[in-house]
Structure 1
């Protein structure tokens, strides 16, 4: 039986017997990807209207999938509460990054324009590393999708201006390696209201159409027109049990004074999906509040060791890079100095040539003077006074000639010294070039060794089983909400400039409902976690009543 599993990294074609369990297929794909944090992932296929249908691993075999076995997807199913603290290994971080990036670009997760630009700049840092104007020309930004399509119509900014804003932020990420840039990207996405929320159409007892959002933090109830701001929220710490009977889905609170609250899904099958997703999220919620198992501790130690070694390599790389850049700068300066000396030498040679012409003219004058002597001897008596003056003139010209010859000898010595200095500089530049080439060779060797070490680590990874039963929360468990991830200080000024441009170019008639809701949230100083904190105030009884009266 043919099996095709697609991931954000690649597509796998397998052949398996019909009785092969889904768990075996999942394990095989996880191992091929090198993923050990398997509890975040699942296998799914798309049903009618692009509905995501997650396959239950414990009870399903390939034969149960029928014609869906060639349309399976290995995707993130459960999201952590705090990405920066919980994701352990690089491959898991990369998988989350690639999947979440697709959700941002396709508008599956709503993201405001300024954050979209910042995320695009981190994505470029992930793909290309530090920005370099010599290497990264405009074509790099133009030939790939970096922003959701809606932004092109919502703002009257051209592609060049969008790309310039992305580039300006990309410059600020200098020094971040691939994993650090991916984590910064994910931390920002974690602030978005729709991140990690799976929505289901439901009704309450009054028949009001609502949305149920299943998240890592609990169950949220939304009005159908607003997917950003939940109206009621029940954290997992307040939920004791989940069960359903056909469309009727029952949630039992831990508060004994609160009655069970009931929602109605669109079908029994949908109720089953809600239960499966709810049980999995609740299990991970409880697990995060217990001490790490020995396997997780070992995994974290390995990841920390790899990260430590990578940071050492990174530090060494940047030190070598700095030294190399300084050496290259010195080489440029040496070349300028050599060029300057060559120009000076050319000027000296020109002056020497002119001096030689002067000497030649003097020699010709001396010859003429010798001829004149014979004539002057014949007229000695008549022109004695003139001969004395001529003799004085002759002596004066000889002194000038001697002085000029001294100057020429001095100039020869000066030119010789310059030539020796040029040769010394040339030798020093060649030696420096050899040092640069040796540094490049060492850098390539270190990178190859690091890649080989990572590959060996990935090959040794073993799969871990998901735990899906409901558990009781430890008595001293911390149930506080995560903190909003703040933008790096050096990017805040850049964001302010971008926000001003966006306000100037906003085409309000093109705004969506989510854009307007987000703008109102900003004006009111609300964010994802403030909203959750506000609607979780009061006891469970009161919130159940609020839900039933919606």
Structure 2
């Protein structure tokens, strides 16, 4: 089949699916079919990440042909969370929060989200509550958590502590457990941060640049022992540009106006020019998603279309939240989805495939025979009233308000040049 492009997707529950596309397909076609498969409405929080021919991980661009992005690389993608909101209440649908829990569990296991043992115990007990429901001593014997994993190196008696805390959660339904799980994770210092290795100064000391809903963070050291030097919050960042391996940030010094009239520029160096471009694109997309009312549009006849430029093509967080409600303020009905247990390898699966004859895509997946029904959600209780275990690691990178800002920056024009790529934020 010379005109067919086979794309393998690994979903958050470790399901593998294969989608057949035309070799001329664009990124948005694959993204839409992935979103349709997992039946998620708040799709803009997620993306497809792949490893390019240089071994670097980057996100699939919706506006470019797939073949031009992967080149000689294998057509394998991972469906992952791309934008982490500041708090779980920003996520309107139960299905979205469920997928976020799967992602955060991966972050905890692979060490991207380090935490104390007490916090890990609480998080593990909430994950168990979400999957097993109310603790039943007759059904949940001593070995019911033998295959459960939450940390890379679990301390002694960890599983026993998790089981004891699970028994205290009572009749908490899965949607409540998911909400609490995300809320506790959002308090951790490295929650939602995408890390990139960089050189921090002229002495070329190694560090990491972090991009998140809060802004751009600069760290010394390496995970899990990172030291925060500074965080440039989005409302202070006025311009980001790169030239070859060097990335530059222009930050407003006047905190009252943040107009850029008084500003300072910071420079970072990366091992490869391609990595520098990936970081630049991540900054542009995060700023647009969390800071803007709507994405910018490049004029079709713009001179910049013929040089280096990039723009975020999805909905902003404000648009995602607004689209979850009707004009009268009533929340739109949520799409049905099925919860499955990662412990028993029952994979997440929509009730029925919704591929029409008009589509050139066909999905093939490993399906679970039995899928447990979703318990009816109850009114969310205050998370503080549901647990008494220590809070664990406090939030170290907080902007004080706890919520992203949506006010557009004074300028939204993208500036591209043949040797220098920049965007005025």
Report the TM range for the smaller structure's normalisation: 0.5 to 0.7
SS at match of 2:30: helix
* Equivalent-residue separation in structure 1 for 2:207 and 2:283 (angstroms): 18
Q: Does 1:87 align with 2:84?
A: no
Name 1:284's counterpart in structure 2.
289
Name 1:33's counterpart in structure 2.
38
* Equivalent-residue separation in structure 2 for 1:489 and 1:267 (angstroms): 49
Q: Does 1:245 align with 2:243?
A: yes
Q: Does 1:221 align with 2:218?
A: yes
> What 5-or-longer segments of structure 2 have no aligned partner?
253-259, 295-315, 335-349, 356-381, 401-425
Question: Higher Cα Rg: structure 1 or 2?
Answer: 1
Q: Does 1:137 align with 2:138?
A: no
Q: Does 1:148 align with 2:151?
A: yes
* Equivalent-residue separation in structure 2 for 1:230 and 1:489 (angstroms): 32
Q: How does 1:109-128 map to 2 (within 5 A)?
A: 109-128=113-132
> What 5-or-longer segments of structure 1 have no aligned partner?
308-453, 460-485, 497-517, 534-550
Q: Does 1:269 align with 2:266?
A: no
Q: 1:18 touches 1:63 (CA, 8 Å); kept in 2?
A: no
Name whichever structure is richer in helix by fraction.
Answer: 1
* Equivalent-residue separation in structure 1 for 2:330 and 2:16 (angstroms): 27
Name whichever structure is richer in strand by fraction.
Answer: 2
SS at match of 2:62: coil
* Equivalent-residue separation in structure 2 for 1:162 and 1:292 (angstroms): 40
Matched pairs, number:
322
| Alignment TM-score, normalising by the size of structure 1 | 0.53
Q: How does 1:369-408 map to 2 (within 5 A)?
A: none
Q: 1:2 touches 1:69 (CA, 8 Å); kept in 2?
A: no
* Equivalent-residue separation in structure 2 for 1:63 and 1:49 (angstroms): 14
CA 1:204–1:119: 2 relative to 1, 3 Å: closer
CA 1:208–1:495: 2 relative to 1, 3 Å: closer
SS at match of 2:159: helix
Aligned-residue CA RMSD in angstroms? 3.2
Name 2:159's counterpart in structure 1.
163
Q: Does 1:185 align with 2:185?
A: no
* Equivalent-residue separation in structure 1 for 2:26 and 2:273 (angstroms): 24
* Equivalent-residue separation in structure 2 for 1:199 and 1:303 (angstroms): 38
Q: 1:43 touches 1:74 (CA, 8 Å); kept in 2?
A: yes
- Displacement of 1:209 in angstroms is 2.2
| Alignment TM-score, normalising by the size of structure 2 | 0.68
Instruction: Specify which of 101, 105, 108 is matched with residue 104 of structure 1.
Output: 108
Q: 1:5 touches 1:12 (CA, 8 Å); kept in 2?
A: yes
Name 2:377's counterpart in structure 1.
none
Name 1:19's counterpart in structure 2.
24
The superposition leaves residues 321-351 of structure 1 with CA deviations (integer Å, 9 ceiling, x where unpaired) of xxxxxxxxxxxxxxxxxxxxxxxxxxxxxxx
Instruction: Specify which of 181, 185, 206 is matched with residue 209 of structure 1.
Output: 206
Instruction: Specify which of 468, 472, 491 is matched with residue 387 of structure 2.
Output: 491
CA 1:179–1:487: 2 relative to 1, 3 Å: closer
Q: 1:201 touches 1:265 (CA, 8 Å); kept in 2?
A: yes
* Equivalent-residue separation in structure 2 for 1:107 and 1:488 (angstroms): 26
Name 1:42's counterpart in structure 2.
47
CA 1:166–1:49: 2 relative to 1, 3 Å: farther
SS at match of 1:176: coil
Q: Does 1:235 align with 2:238?
A: no
- Displacement of 1:164 in angstroms is 2.9
